[in-house]
Structure 1
Amino acid sequence: MTGKTMTNTPSTRRGANAALLAFFGAVAIGGPALAQNSARDAGAEAFVQTKAQRVITVLANKTMSDAQKTQVFHQAVDELADVPRITNFVLGKYARTITPEQRARFTPVFRAYAENVYQSRIDDYRGEQLKVVGSVVNKPGDVTVKTLISGGQITQPLPVSWRVLGGGQTWKVVDVQFKGIWLAITQQQDFVSTIDNAGGNIDVLINQLQKGGSAPSGRRK
């Protein structure tokens, strides 16, 4: 899978934000512009520094075999991200109608697809070091952590933002912003549009993900 994403439009971003409000009853994932609090959260920053750095280190490791790297990356993602929540979120309105059998098929194929997307984005940078440079508390337990990736083949540090939910020892990433694009929101837009264009048939999306190849794009032209 190539892990391509597509740019956002105002209408689809509005829809994604509305869907996430329904899921979490709070500020949308990936909506840093909605933040009203300028305070920082040291716990969230420490979590991202440790766990996201591990992900970067795994991908930059040149001594691991591809199989080893895939396995360790999978484990690192589990420590970093709230995979079940993201899996539910990207289905948008269809998270309420998906059958247990469909969910059992969707969950592993989305996991493989999403890991490919995130790995591709980080590999594009080919950096080795991650440094937290700040954070914004959107509300208690909802923080956007700002980082810079540098080293390796990067000539200038590149910004990456991480949306984390939780607190104490229970922080988890729910979205990552690369070059202005929040990946989970973009995936939700693409997935919901694909299902919409299939008349609400979730199996169409599942089958596309199972077949591999490019990320599904159900956007209406």
Structure 2
Amino acid sequence: MTRSTTNRLSRRQTLALAAGAACLAALPARALTTAQARQLIDGAVADINAIIGSGKSEAGMYRDFEQVFARYADVPTIARFALGPTARSASPAELSAFTKAFQGYMARKYGKRFREFQGTRIEVVGAREVKSFFEVQAIARTPGQSPYAVSFMVSDRSGANKFFDMLIEGVSLIKTEQTEIGAMLDRRGGSIAKLAQDLQSMG
């Protein structure tokens, strides 16, 4: 990767974070509590554990992971973060198509990672308030391997209790997707429509 490409992606990520933070801050604060944040992730983790242990086909598991992602994640906010500054100039139809394609893409991508660890159990171990959101901490335990940390960032600023970021071993989902989706968008000349179409078969 060239220095100019790295700088462009870095600028894109910084602008996307600033835009996303401004959108969240502009929404009215609600009354989410630490207990409610943990309850949300307890539910998500229970569903993920059930899918991992279901013995379903790959396609069946990915459909289930997409349902979990849609139910517990603030998909529109995550999609806007991933799309970066381009989201501000996108039409409602473009954003809708991208968000739908992005949801399936994310379910396949992260579902594939969880699927690789058959026998893994994820356990919520704590929750804490961090400024305007809550961090719910979990541990993923796989037989024969060292456990690793998974954290969920939860907010109700979208109007419902949802997680808007997930850290796997300290690596942020939204920061990773900002960089990767930004690079994909650049390769398609900035066309959201082309990216949304391609995401339907990626992940």
Structure 1 and Structure 2 fold alike (TM over 0.5) = yes
Q: Is the 8 A contact 2:20 2:80 kept in 1?
A: no
Query: Which residue of the partner structure matches residue 83 of structure 1?
Result: 75
Q: Does 1:201 align with 2:187?
A: no
Match of 2:116, SS?
helix
Give unpaired runs (5+ residues) of structure 1.
1-8, 27-39, 216-221
SS at match of 1:90: helix
- RMSD between superposed Cα atoms in Å: 2.9
TM-score (norm 1): 0.70
Per the alignment, residue 87 of structure 2 pairs with 95
Would the aligned equivalents of 1:125 and 1:154 in 2 still touch at CA under 8 Å?
no
Structure 2 counterpart of 1:145, which letter?
V
**Secondary structure class of the residue paired with 2:90:** coil
Question: Per-residue deviation at 1:105?
Answer: 2.9
Pair 136,11 (structure 1): closer, same or farther in 2 beyond 3 Å:
farther
* Cα displacement string for residues 36-94 of structure 1 (whole angstroms, at most 9, x for unaligned residues): xxxx92321222122222112212222x3445434433332222212222223321111
TM-superposed CA distance for 1:198, in Å, is: 4.7
- Specify the SS of the correspondent of 2:48: helix
* Partner residue in 1 for 2:146: 156
Matched-pair contact (CA < 8 Å) for 1:145–1:164: yes
Cα 1:41/1:88, change in 2 over 3 Å: same
TM-score by length of 2: 0.75
Shift in CA distance, 65/198, structure 1 to aligned 2, threshold 3 Å: closer
Q: How many aligned residue pairs are there? A: 188
Within-5 A mapping of 1:134-145: 134-140=126-132, 142-145=133-136
Q: Which runs of 5+ in 2 are unaligned?
A: 1-8, 27-32
Cα offset, 1:108, TM superposition:
2.5
Choose between structure 1 and 2: higher helix proportion. 2
